[in-house]
Structure 1
Amino acid sequence: MAKEPSVDCSLLDEAEQCFDKLYSKYEYLDGAIFWNDDVTKSDKIAAFFAPAAEFVRINHPKLYALGDVFLNDIIRIAACAAQNDERNDPIDNSNFDWSGVPAGTYISFIQPSKYYARDAARRAQMEPYYRAERRKQDRQNIALILLLALEAIGSVATFVFLTFFDGYIYNTWNWLIAIPVNSFLSFIWPIYWLILRPIMGN
């Protein structure tokens, strides 16, 4: 495996700052809009996503360049933190389970959220490397599957040839020896075709 690339720690700090700003913006947006009673927390996050993404694009272009996965994470983390700072209940359809965390406590709740923001930036920077490693592993797996398939096809084809098409004459007893020998030779069919058969003069 290739050496992992270094992480730009300044982006981690910037992600923490971005979280603070998005957190405040969500609180302002949530307080400024009159929501219907049937609006869920996920609906509010969806409404917050577009202006939040535009804010990140303008004010944090380096973070914005990390891509949609980071944007989704950082916006969701900030919105979830703001929601749970007001009410201590789980967030609808959220990847982050904040249930059981005391609402409105900075040390036990907001600070861990900042850690998630930093981790989102770290993972986003590493994603191209991990994606390349996954592609490499996929290619290796495909090559292994093809190699195993070739081995199976060659083994079966060699056994069928030696047993039925090699001109060997069977009698009442010699098949007891010939069949196991054919099975063994079909198991090592590359050696048989490249070395043994030319030596035997066939």
Structure 2
Amino acid sequence: MNDDNLIASHCKTLLHRVRQCTECAEHLPFPPRPILQASSRSRILIAAQAPGKLAHDSGLAFNDPSGDRLRRWLGVDSTTFYNSNNFALLPMGFCFPGAGKSGDLAPRPECAPLWRQPLLDHLSHIRLTLVIGQYAQAWHLPNSGKSVTERVQQWHVLWPDILPLPHPSGRNNRWLKRNPWFEQEVVPMLQERIKTLLSV
């Protein structure tokens, strides 16, 4: 077995283990249902927060209006998005953490130290990492600013390898209206980069 096949085999084994995880079951509102997507050949990593209730119910990440907006930002359709050779979807927490008074609860803290780095170690073909929301940005970009807005405003610093993004949730409609430069300037650059990476 050559190195690529060995890495692919290890990646599949690790993904199977993650999907069987019950580490934080006692803290979840529903039985654990880890939701993630990855392949040893994934080219674009989407690091987000945690699945929402709709994703938990369907078993698909971003299977909701926020996912529709994210795919518009990326300039891709659902078939392209859910192809693990194109996109790895690794949120900070793999299970729906439950809902709070002002939105979903924070991702469970067990996932990141237990699973994230072992998974990332198998993704050697990643050429662009999209870091969505405050929890993922705090993990991936710990020294890049104090807020999501500050990090997104500095998007060019790590471009074209890493791009911080606001969460595409409808809860951020006000943010998008206050920051029209994001969809006017950043999104077209992102779409062109995605197009290039997926054509290789």
The bucket for the TM-score relative to the shorter chain is under 0.3
TM (norm. structure 1) is: 0.24
* TM-score, length basis structure 2: 0.24
Q: Which has the higher strand share?
A: 2
Q: Which structure has the larger Rg over C-alpha atoms?
A: 1
More helix by share: 1
